[in-house]
Structure 1
Amino acid sequence: MQAESGAERLREFSVRDFLDFGEQYGIEYRFSANNSGEDNNRTAAIARGCINELTLPSGLRFTHSELDIFHGYESVSLGQAPLLIVIVLEGCINLSVGPVMRELRTGMAASLRLCPEYALQVRQSPDQHLKTLTLAWDPGCSAGVGTEHPVMRRLLQEVHRPMLAWQVPGELFRSLEPSLNLTIPELRKHLVLEGLAMQLLAHGLPEHDQSQPRKPLSYREQQRLESVRQLLEFAPAEHHSLEALADRAAMSSSSLRAKFRATYGVTLFEYLRRCRLELGRNYLERGYSVQQAAHCTGYRHATNFATAYRRHFGVSPRKEA
């Protein structure tokens, strides 16, 4: 599995292709039971299409893929990316970064800032024609502008959430593929794509009240917030009061609520609920009953657990048990 740098070339991507690509780039791929990656299944075709990549002089990199997905799969990446924008040109994907989960459909995008604390998980549904465009910024590129560039430094300050989903403006969305497929001299094409990348970056920034700019968190505040988040993630079944969590963060209750949501894009107790449900799904997959899973994840009543599970995952927990 390798991105093509020239003209589009259709090919099949097998389980082995995905696993080789994952080993090279630090991505773990998970396939359905029928395509689990066992030796006798490694030649099974997962998708067919093409993947093209173009790195610009600024260090910004476009990756354009068009695939017919035969079998659904998940990818989990622990890599770092200070700035990443994923756009769905056609089809649907599900993204999750730490506590934040989003479904992206045609015309939608997500701005991401990945760091070692969060794994980027992407779920691809089977039996669909999927076209995506990814814009990544690599500050380590020798020809790139680097973090010292004032515009890029400001962008990194603005993109403070793990993920922000947004709708690509219609005119900009319609110009994406034609711009990528221009047959003009390389220098001119690079200029066109640099301008396109800047437009995407401008639209992909979080909106906030410019009259009351958000004060950046100090390093210690970030560490204390992360301590709270990790406590919720690793001990979701425990009883957590707002007051105790605020003491742990050395903040007032109102400050903790506001800063947690601003940093992670989700409320404190919504994150706790998601952690409990993810833990519950793990118990169900291990053979626990709904009642047992509810008890082990901090729910007093199985009916409350089942209702929350159905709303979150779209299926009854009894189907997972």
Structure 2
Amino acid sequence: MDAAPIGAVDAVEETSAMFTVSRDVLGPGSQFERHSHQEDQVAWLVSGSVELEVLGERWHLRRDHLMWIPAGTMHEMVFPEGAEIISLYVDPLLRPEGDWATPRTLESDPLVGALMLHLTEGVPTPRRRALCRRLLAEVLGDLAVVRDVVALPRDPRARAVAARLLEDPADGRELEAWASELGVSTKTLARAFVHGTGSTFRDWRVHARLHAATRHLAEGAPVQDAAHQVGYTSVSSFIAAFRRRFGVTPARYAADLSRPTPGATSEP
């Protein structure tokens, strides 16, 4: 059966069973083992990070992305540093307009975060829940699909290097040193990064460092400290790279994070 577009939702008799929400606080190393749902899932991290494995790919995500996982899609989530995650489970009949049959990552939106937080706090009336659900579908339909997440290599040797760098992004060893430690050629490891992530090792490391910096900024670290903690010796170079990646300076990013989100009860 084709999913009903948002404009035709009135033709569906929406019930509470067609739309549920959960909010979980997970410790470091927690995971949701490989599984699937009968419903579509929209997931957002209030804080922390997740490694999402889906369709043979593994993505490292933070709160600046939303995860869309269609019904029936096998996936796994690992939370290396712990996280707080909100998930919406929605009957496929209530999908937004368009092709939503494949997993994707979407650029996060403050309104989406506010609505998801609101749905988990207190007990919204059935009418309020339905309004929030419909507004979420409307907003999701307008969000940009993003492909600049931190993808993790499929090759186990390259993935081991990636995992080490996510744990310690300030590690400045070049690919030759990593290859020597693993007993493989530099070319082999370089190809594994390109084939598995679409990026060279150096580009991947920059990306991983900048995402790690968002965690330090969210925890209140000054820009200079965040830069040094992820391996930048030049703060100006860090600011320039951060602006290219996120479209704002680290200071503006931190200021936006510190602004209370409507409905939030705690700092992310």
* Structure having greater relative contact order (Cα 8 Å, sep ≥ 6): 2
- Whichever structure has more strand as a proportion of its residues is 1
When the two structures are superposed, what TM-score results if normalisation uses the length of structure 2? 0.47
Which protein shows a greater Rg?
Answer: 1
When the two structures are superposed, what TM-score results if normalisation uses the length of structure 1? 0.40
